[in-house]
Amino acid sequence: TATDFAVDLTNCDREPIHVLGKVQSFGFLMALTADWLVSRVSANSADFIGRTPQEMLGQPVSAIFTADAIHTLRNRITLLRGPDSVERVFSLALMEGGPAFDVAVHFSGPLVVIEAELASHDEMEASSTVRSMVARLAQADGMTAFLRDGARQVRALTGFDRVMVYRFADGGDGEVVAEALKPGVDSFLGLHYPASDIPAQARALYLRNIFRIIADIGADPVPVVPALDPTGAALDMSLCLTRAVSPIHVEYLRNMGVGASLSISIIVEGKLWGLFACHHYSPRLPTFAQRSAAELFGQIFSMMLESRERAETASYEGKARQVADRLLSAVAQDHDLLSNARWLGDIIFDTIPADGVGVYIDGQMTFSGLVPDEAAFSAIVTMLNRVAASQIYTTDSLTKVLPEAAVYADRASGILAIPLSRRPRDYVVLFRAEQLRSVRWAGKPEKEIEYGPNGPRLTPRKSFEIWSQLVQGVALPFTPAELRVAEALRTALLEVILRLSDSADAERQ
């Protein structure tokens, strides 16, 4: 069960973070049965409403909250749409003569979950705040500026010391691609981390619940009682706003000297594209209204990013068609250009970035940029000859198919081979160097502090080292879009080559 799972560095991806059974102390939680009897309460309820869980468990909620409050909550519940929705009420008095609360309600299975914290009476208009944030963002020129402005806006809204845009690669590892910092905080920009730092179950949860905060790294989490219901089930807290997070992640943050953490999912095309990941160097809890605005901003940011990415893809594909046309007409005029690696590289690298290019025609080799030597290139061509003819071939880790390639991984870890003909097999081959070569090592991302039980492993610096080991001999993969462009180039080149051999035949006759 959830309660006896001992988490360590080897099993993080199996830690059931949605049923850890604890809330953070800034709020309290109550779960009600379908007929509104109290089924679970967090142990800190007396701090908020003056009643302990023991006084309330099994009681009808009408014996605790006012009729008005219950009416409001019931109305909100009827507004819940879909399995993952949460409704909010600001400044609601729950008890006769008691203080006002900011409240969230949602369903967890058959249970109604109510979470409440003392109302901040924040008069902020979430919609107009977000509207002006979005208006600024719309003006950003180019993707880099867009991401950076997004980080700046989140920092302005939440007041966190460090706001990063963290982007996931296909395998779940990630990179800090934009950042907004309080002056004096060191930069993590360009740093990479292994997938295990945000394990798979966390990434899956963050698709469903797009906002989370850890308001005070040092605060003790508060148990929800009872941990298990009479059937032995734990409360699924996936959608809770007050959910206490994984202790191993808390250790990570503590090792980094962080006092509070906040993150907002960035979802593009239904996938977790990345996160706004925010740190504060002391405890920090933005108001409920600010957190709601940040969440809404995250959703709009995601949609804007999605449409920017679509536009980028469209303009990329247009550019790629132009390159294929240019190649075709230039080679048709001057056949020798085909074996001019430098000329080919100049044309191709714009649309398919690579570190070097080699051309193999009739046993003749030419090179440009960062490339392996002739003997190595011959071995690559021999390997390519075993692959089906007239197909693009790519790998992001040549050593996996050609062990001796480890020697020149710093020049050619990834290849994209475009076959030019059937027999003899000629090729244009693009090379990408080991990814690490192109990564910048920024700053010193941990403070001089005492580490938790799992030691320095749970720090960005160690994570970066682990990521570095994982990507040894691995290049940035060629993307599906780049492969499509390569296919267009292959067709264009094939056309010229066929024409060439036709005219050679004609001359011979």
Binding site for ligand BLA (CB under 6 A): 9, 12, 15, 17, 188, 193, 196-199, 202, 212, 214, 245-246, 248-249, 252, 261, 263, 275, 277, 458, 460, 463
Cα 509 to Cα 505: distance, rounded to the nearest angstrom: 6
Instruction: Read off the DSSP letter of residue 422.
Output: S
Q: Closest separation between CB of residue 338 and ligand BLA, Å?
A: 46
CA angle (14 as vertex; 266, 294 as ends), nearest 5: 20
> By the 8 A CB rule, do 133 and 119 touch?
no
d(CA 333, CA 246): 64
* Nearer Cβ to ligand BLA (18/152): 18
Our CB check for ligand BLA shows the closer of 169 and 481 to be 169
CA distance 143 to 146: 5
* Residue 88 φ/ψ, nearest 5 degrees: -125, 150
Nearer to ligand BLA, 210 or 405 (CB): 210
Sign for the CA dihedral angle at 321, 324, 327, 331 comes to negative
Distance of closest approach, residue 198 Cβ to ligand BLA, in angstroms: 4
Please, which residue, 470 or 483, has the CB nearer to ligand BLA? Answer: 470
Q: What are phi and psi of 503, to 5 degrees?
A: -70, -30
Closest distance of CB 261 from ligand BLA, Å: 4
Query: Which is closer to ligand BLA, CB of 145 or CB of 204?
Result: 204
> Nearest distance from residue 246's CB to ligand BLA, in Å?
4
- Closest to ligand BLA by CB, 34 vs 204, is 204
Cβ proximity to ligand BLA: between 19 and 94 the closer is 19
Least distance from C-beta 58 to ligand BLA, angstroms?
30
- The rounded distance, in Å, linking the Cα atoms of 166 and 199 is 14
Compute the least distance from the CB of residue 209 to ligand BLA, in Å: 9
Residue 100 token pair:
């006002």
Residue 44: phi and psi, rounded to 5, are -95, 15
Instruction: Name the H helices within 63-168.
Output: 67-79, 126-138, 143-158
CB of 294 to ligand BLA, least distance (A): 12
Question: C-beta of 439: minimal distance to ligand BLA in Å?
Answer: 14
**Phi then psi dihedrals of residue 58, to 5 deg:** 85, -10
Residue nearest to ligand BLA (CB): 12
Closer CB to ligand BLA, 262 or 357, in the complex: 262
- Per-residue tokens: 113: 């979950």
Instruction: Name which of 220, 214, 197, 198 is nearest 259 in CA terms.
Output: 214
